[in-house]
Structures are given as structure tokens and as C-alpha cells.
Chains A and B, each alone.
Chain A
Amino acid sequence: MSVCLPPALRPVVQRCAGVLAAGGLLWPVLTGVSAVVPEGRWSFTPPAQAESFAGAPAHAPAQDWSFRGALGHFDLAAVQRGYAVFAGVCASCHSLTQVHFSDLGGMGLTPEQVSALAASWQVVAGRDAEGRLTHRKALPDDALPAPYTGPEAARAANRGAVPPDLSRIVQVYPGGADRVYALLTGYASSASAPGAGAARAEAGFANPYAIGHRTAMPPPLRENAVVYADGTRPTAQQEARDVTTFLAWISSPHADDKRRLGVGVVLYLCFLACLLVILKRRIWSHVEK
């Protein structure tokens, strides 16, 4: 790619390997065969190019996720631990607007466990006779409550930055799960030092995986930030890994169902195809070529 491009277009070019990319774009559609889609997204990014301009996020090293690939499946224990990290750490700033508590049953929880989990959250019940907001315990049908009433409140509470909604973050965020994990664990060591004061926060926190290598999010994870119910040791690495798994799961909660059904459907189609090929050959057996 020796073409001279304005910086705004470079990410575009980085995502595409070359002239043949469009051919590659059409080809998998016609054949159903593709080796380039590990995360449900195009990933033509050659690692070397990621450093091509200053401020571009560093290339996140690929992690060995259980849900990777066409036949991957979610490690539900990790998803549940990840929910604990989300509820204990992320939820104070980030929302999961599209998610209802009942959706969390897909993590492998019984309806009773989902009700109990929902009851640990408070949601707005409406306004009382004086116009004040009232709250009640959440029910399985409720959406997860957002930490801020709107973007203005979020901006005011976070020095002008709005923490993004996490409902589809792994799908929408360029780089996917690898980059989310890299961002969570990739803070420069000085940023997470106890002395990281307000002055540093104004400029953002150094992180090679953020755009411009600065992020407004303070290092969120530390050792023992949460207590895991299953006794796993909550190191910062482990927390990051679990919460990334949770966010990947919540981005496409039916992915496992999808793959499972897909295996059945393909097997059925193969069986039917065999029958049909035999039938067709027999019907056509006397027709001259």
C-alpha cells in the first residue's frame, strides 16, 4: 500500500489487504468458505501496518478465546465470573441498555437465580405523588439500569467523556475481544500507580491500545476487585479475561445456540443431499449426455 492517503482514510485501507479484498469479499459469499473471519468480522489487518501512523492503536495480540472460530462455544463459568466483574466494576460507569435480566439466564442460570440476581439491582419505578423518582428491586423483565440518566450526566461525571454502552461493544469495537482485553490490561504501569492524580486524569491515561494512546477510562481492574463465587483467584488478568468473555457473550448471546443448531441443520442437509443425489442420478440415468 504505497498510496498516499489522508489520515482519515487510513483505517479503511488497513482493514483491507489489497486489490483482491473485494474479490475476497464476493468470493466467500458465493462459496461459503472463508478462513478470514475468526470473530464474525473482516480482519484483513496485517499486524505490521497497525503502527503506520502515530496515535493508531497498537495491534492487540490474539488471545485464545473459547468462543473463537466457527465452532467455538462460550465458557459459561468465565461468562458468569465476567458478569460479577461487570456488576462490581464496569456497571458504575457503563450501561448495558439492550440487555434484560432474563437474558442473563443464558449464562447458565436458573429462573430463580435470575430473579435473585435481578433483585440485587434497583430500577426506577416511576414518580410518586410529589414527582420524585421512586425505585424498586428489578424484575427479570427489566432492562439493566443505566448508571447515568443521559449523556449529559455521563459527560459531567467523567470529565467530558461518555462511557460507551457495552451491549454490542465486542462486535462494534474495532479489534473485538482481543482489543478489549488488551485495553483492559494494557495500561502503562505509571497510570495504575497509586499516585495517578487528577492532573494525570485530565490528559487521559496512557494505553497503547486506545486511539491516540490515551483513554479517559482510569485503569478499572485491580487484584481482588471482586470476589468470585467459584473460588477463582481474582487477579487483574483473570478479571480482564472474564469480563471480556462476558462482553463477547452479551454481544451475541445466542451465538452458542446458533452454532449448535447450525451443526444439526448442516448434518440434516447433508443427509437430504445424499438422498437427492441418488434420486436425481436414478431419474437421469437413462438420459444421454
Chain B
Amino acid sequence: MTHPTDPTTAPGQDESTVPGRRDFLGMVTTAGTVTGLAACAIPFVESLKPQDSAAAHQPVEVDLSKLAPGQQMTTVWQGKPVFILRRTPEELARLQNAALNETLRDAQSEALQQPPYARNWHRSVVPEYGVYVGICTHLGCVPAYMPPTPAPDQTGFYACPCHGSHFDLAGRVLKGAPAPYNLPVPPYVMPTPTTLRLGENPKGETFDFSTIEQI
């Protein structure tokens, strides 16, 4: 220690009288204390764990009887916007146009952004209805639906307001846009021609939405 030692207490002020034993004891005590402090952190970390909500995993029933051809509606499933659009025959024809498909980044839906039962040219269960999670795969903005204009050769599409990504009416991203993947397709079934149940796979299918490439 820095202060001058007093003759009566000199041996006491010297820390290294029994170096080996104290060091071992000190190490065990330090280890014990550190372990205890680390254990104290457990409830804090636990409390940060997201509370998985089974209610949010419930299938959502959607009534499509009021949806006219060429119209689009937005519903909420697991806190995410889901676009449901009813495509006209002309729009469906355009989806199959090979020349237009050249402008798409992933026309054949090769990336896992949809259940296997929706990996087809219309990216849906029934060609007429398209069902897409409305979250841009670039940075998560909600793309806006641009309805078809009366001008000839014009079709509707989705345009992301944030960085200008465009998607066609099957949720496929156009080349030259920052978004890397097509819009995801949620698992769904259509128990009747005009109702749709989001979050439930058709019989025999086991698609887990959390396995997709990117939301």
C-alpha cells in the first residue's frame, strides 16, 4: 500500500502473507459472485422474450362475395396487411404473356415466397383471386394498388411508395426495382368459392409461413 507502514501493523498491511490460499479462495469467491450476478440477469432476459400469441395464429375468415372483378381489398392477418384482388380475364391473360414475363425478376416463382400449392403462373389457389402479403420485400413498406386506367394496354399493378418497386398483379417484382423477391403468398384455403380462410393450409399440405425467403 502507498502509505508508510506502521511497525505495529506492518505484517497486517502486507497482503501477500499466504498468497496461494487467499488467491484460491479469492478466485472461488469471485467466480461465485459473478455466477450469482449472471443468474440475476435471467428474469430480465426472460421478460424480453416475445410472448407468442396463439390468438394471432388463428385463421382469419374473409367474405369475398362483395368483391367485384378488378377490385382489391386489404385485410389483416397476423398483424400484416393482406391484399386480396379479383383479377379480370384480361389481367389473367397478361399474367401469362411471355414477353411481359421477361421484365420480371422471378417469373416462375422459384424463390420460396409462396406455398407449393400457389407456385403456378397465377400464384394463387384459384386464378381469379390473388392473395398476397402487402409488405414490400425491399424494406417493408406497404405497396399501393394502382387500378387499371381506361387507356388501352394498361393494367393494374402494385407500386411501393418508398423506393419505387413495382409488382404485377400476381405479386411478382419487376426487374430494375430494389425489391429482391416477389410478394409472399400466405397459406390459405377457399372452403367455398366466395370465402377464404387465411392461415390454414388445404388438406394434406403442411406449409409453414415462417419458412419463406423473406417477408
B54 touches A279 (CB 8 A): no
How many residues on the A side are at the interface (Cβ–Cβ under 8 A)?
18
CB neighbours of B211 from chain A (8 A): none
A288 touches B12 (CB 8 A): yes
Identity of the chain A residue whose Cβ is nearest the Cβ of B11 in the assembled complex = A286
Known: A141-B55, A272-B32. A282 touches B8 (CB 8 A): no
B12 touches A275 (CB 8 A): no
Give chain B nearest CB distance to A220 CB in angstroms: 31
Known: A141-B54, A268-B36. A276 touches B12 (CB 8 A): no
CB neighbours of A279 from chain B (8 A): 22, 25-26, 29
Within B1-50, which residues are at the interface with A (CB < 8 Å)? 8-9, 11-15, 17-18, 21-22, 25-26, 28-29, 32-33, 36
Residues 265-289 of chain A, each 1 if its beta carbon lies under 8 Å from chain B, else 0: 0001001100110110011011110
CB neighbours of A141 from chain B (8 A): 53-55
Instruction: Tell me if A140 counts as interface (CB < 8 A to partner B).
Output: yes
Instruction: Tell me if A248 counts as interface (CB < 8 A to partner B).
Output: no
B29 touches A139 (CB 8 A): no
CB neighbours of A139 from chain B (8 A): 54-55, 58
Binding site secondary structure of chain A: helix
Give chain A nearest CB distance to B203 CB in angstroms: 21
Give bound CA distance, A287 to B12, whole Å.
6
Give bound CA distance, A286 to B18, whole Å.
12
CB neighbours of A285 from chain B (8 A): 12
B9 touches A282 (CB 8 A): no
Identity of the chain B residue whose Cβ is nearest the Cβ of A142 in the assembled complex = B55
CB neighbours of A275 from chain B (8 A): 25, 28-29, 32
8 Å CB contact of A286 from B17, B25, B32: B17
Known: A141-B54, A272-B33, A272-B36. A282 touches B18 (CB 8 A): yes
Interface size bracket, B side: 20 to 34
Give bound CA distance, A271 to B54, whole Å.
43
Within A230-289, which residues are at the interface with B (CB < 8 Å)? 268, 271-272, 275-276, 278-279, 282-283, 285-288
Within A140-198, which residues are at the interface with B (CB < 8 Å)? 140-142
B55 touches A287 (CB 8 A): no
Give bound CA distance, A236 to B36, whole Å.
48
CB neighbours of B36 from chain A (8 A): 268, 272
CB neighbours of B33 from chain A (8 A): 272
Residues 102-140 of chain A, each 1 if its beta carbon lies under 8 Å from chain B, else 0: 100000000000000000000000000000000000011
Within B101-154, which residues are at the interface with A (CB < 8 Å)? none
A271 touches B17 (CB 8 A): no
CB neighbours of A282 from chain B (8 A): 18, 21-22, 25
CB neighbours of B32 from chain A (8 A): 268, 271-272, 275
Give bound CA distance, A99 to B63, whole Å.
33
CB neighbours of A271 from chain B (8 A): 32
Give bound CA distance, A19 to B78, whole Å.
60
CB neighbours of B29 from chain A (8 A): 272, 275-276, 279
Give chain B nearest CB distance to A72 CB in angstroms: 23
Give bound CA distance, A142 to B12, whole Å.
66
Give chain B nearest CB distance to A104 CB in angstroms: 14
CB neighbours of B54 from chain A (8 A): 102, 139-141
CB neighbours of B14 from chain A (8 A): 286
Top 3 nearest A-B pairs (CB, nearest first) are A286-B12, A141-B55, A275-B29
Please give 8 more A-B residue pairs, beta carbons under 8 A apart, in addition to A272-B33, A287-B9. Answer: A102-B54, A268-B36, A272-B32, A275-B25, A275-B29, A279-B22, A279-B29, A288-B8
Q: B residues engaging A (CB < 8 A)?
A: 8-9, 11-15, 17-18, 21-22, 25-26, 28-29, 32-33, 36, 53-55, 58
**Can you list 30 pairs linking A and B with CB atoms under 8 Å apart?**
A102-B54, A139-B54, A139-B58, A141-B54, A141-B55, A142-B55, A271-B32, A272-B32, A272-B33, A272-B36, A275-B25, A275-B28, A275-B29, A279-B22, A279-B25, A279-B29, A282-B18, A282-B22, A283-B15, A283-B22, A285-B12, A286-B11, A286-B12, A286-B13, A286-B14, A286-B17, A287-B12, A288-B8, A288-B9, A288-B12
